[in-house]
Structure 1
Amino acid sequence: MYKRLVVKLSGQALAGSGGFGFDSDRLTQLAGEVIAARETGVQVAVVVGGGNVFRGNRAEDWGIDRVEADNIGMLGTVINAVLLRGRLAAMGAEDVRLMTALPIDNLAEPYIRLRALRHLEKGSIVLLGCGNGQPFTTTDYPAVQRAVELKADALLVAKNGTDGVYDADPNQVPGARRFDRLGYDEVIARGLRVMDQSAFILARDHRLPLFVFDIDARGAATAICRGEKIGTLITSSEDS
């Protein structure tokens, strides 16, 4: 059903229940999900976050400039991406490519769109670090940006502990209802929090479908690759 997908993987997902640092079992699970998705025949790129290492929005807590804090956060995405690359290789994944928006020649290739497309077409798993190389954005925006640039069929937004989009916080409202499908405009009208507003608007403007699902649901990414309905699908009303 799909030729190419981009997965947005938060740093928190690598941290597991602790929310900070790294969890070996979770890393193995995530690597297995990426490998299984690629084995369906779909081309897979992964945008890796860094919130488990450092968050740029904590600049004031550390008494540093926000730009410097965001630079640290971007380096955190590289740490996570190298760790994920290592686990993918250890689990037998061949030809895993790490590309970064900021040049780090000893560790990764620079992100060049046409080169990334060529890697994907050859069947490589492509890991994307450093966001888009600019401060004042979370990895939500570059996840959408890369998906649009790479002409992905959809962006898989892997959430930590949430299996989709609800009409209220399910942790606080027992009767909260999960949506199977939503339109972009309905998400905005309801004030639902899916990702950064700027990232969501970019997805809407380019009619990029978004799958919001729980990363803890084993096999969810693979099921989406096979066209199954998992989590919440956000798309334009014309494509519904």
Structure 2
Amino acid sequence: MDQRLVIKLSGAAIAGDGEFGFSSERLTHLATEVLAARATGVQVAVVVGGGNVFRGNRAEDWGIDRVEADNIGMLGTVINAVLLRGRIAALGGVDVRLMTAIPINNLAEPYIRLRAIRHLEKGAIVLLGCGNGQPFTTTDYPAVQRAVELGADGLLVAKNGADGIYDADPNAVAGARRFDRLSYQEVIDRELRVMDQSAFILARDHRLPLHVFDIDAPGAATAICRGERVGTLVS
């Protein structure tokens, strides 16, 4: 069984059926899944996305600079992380720490790698917001970056309604085949979209296992934490 895992949650997972906004039901589901993962004895950190609040790639639609748009997106991750922190604390009565790449001292601790590791070693759930504090990246890259920095044994890439990696879009192609396991090179050769290319290359270079699974499936994250084969493993 792995000892330390990072879970990548998208903003869309918090939005529920809508593209933007928040769903209380979805928030409770995510908090429950994170708590269940921790209950297996694994140290858990969570990188939270912000696409349900604002997406940086919509800068042109709003007539603003891309850097400003990405700044808004990073703030969106903080909103989601504060919501998740509150719900986890209400449900689990466990220590939950929010750390952000951009200092927001009244709401969160600044992200310091060794401090984050210390929180994990003490049994706290660590939520990570603001990506890596830099524009022009989605939260895919910071998710891999944080997993590597924290010495995680793997990254759980939570998808919404997709239970792994397929050879074609299962919603559009009848008979699309799901892969149980892939190598990094197979993902590249088949041009399969797991996450942003820069994030995937970073994972490959550091041999970080990627567990791609459906966050909507109750208990999926917990099963992975217990060493069971769920979704698609890239290693």
Q: TM-score, normalised by structure 2?
A: 0.99
State the distance in 2 between where 1:160 and 1:215 align. 6
Q: Point out 4+ residue stretches in structure 1 off by more than 3 angstroms.
A: none
Residue 158 of structure 2 aligns to a residue in which SS? strand
Counterpart position of 2:123: 123
Residue 89 of structure 1 aligns to a residue in which SS? helix
Residue type matched to 1:207 in 2? R
Residue type matched to 1:160 in 2? N
Counterpart position of 1:42: 42
Moved more, 89-98 or 133-142: 89-98
Superposed, 1:65-80 pairs within 5 Å as 65-80=65-80
Any gaps of 5 or more consecutive residues in structure 1? Answer: 236-240
Tell me how large the CA RMSD over aligned residues is: 0.5
State the distance in 2 between where 1:213 and 1:93 align. 27
Superposed, 1:37-186 pairs within 5 Å as 37-186=37-186
Counterpart position of 2:226: 226
Residue type matched to 1:166 in 2? Y
Residue type matched to 2:44 in 1? V
Q: TM-score, normalised by structure 1?
A: 0.97
Q: 2:213 aligned with 1:210, yes or no? A: no
Q: 1:93 Cα shift? A: 3.1
Q: 1:18 Cα shift? A: 1.1
Residue 91 of structure 1 aligns to a residue in which SS? helix
Q: 1:94 Cα shift? A: 1.6
Counterpart position of 1:238: none
Residue 172 of structure 2 aligns to a residue in which SS? coil
Residue type matched to 1:20 in 2? F
Q: 1:227 Cα shift? A: 0.5
Residue 90 of structure 1 aligns to a residue in which SS? helix
Q: 1:92 Cα shift? A: 2.4
Is the CA contact (8 Å cut-off) linking 1:35 and 1:93 kept in structure 2?
Answer: no
Q: Could you list the per-position Cα deviations for residues 57-88 of structure 1 after superposition, in whole angstroms to 9, with x for gaps in the alignment?
A: 00000000000000000000000000000001
Q: Could you list the per-position Cα deviations for residues 77-106 of structure 1 after superposition, in whole angstroms to 9, with x for gaps in the alignment?
A: 000000000001110232100000000000
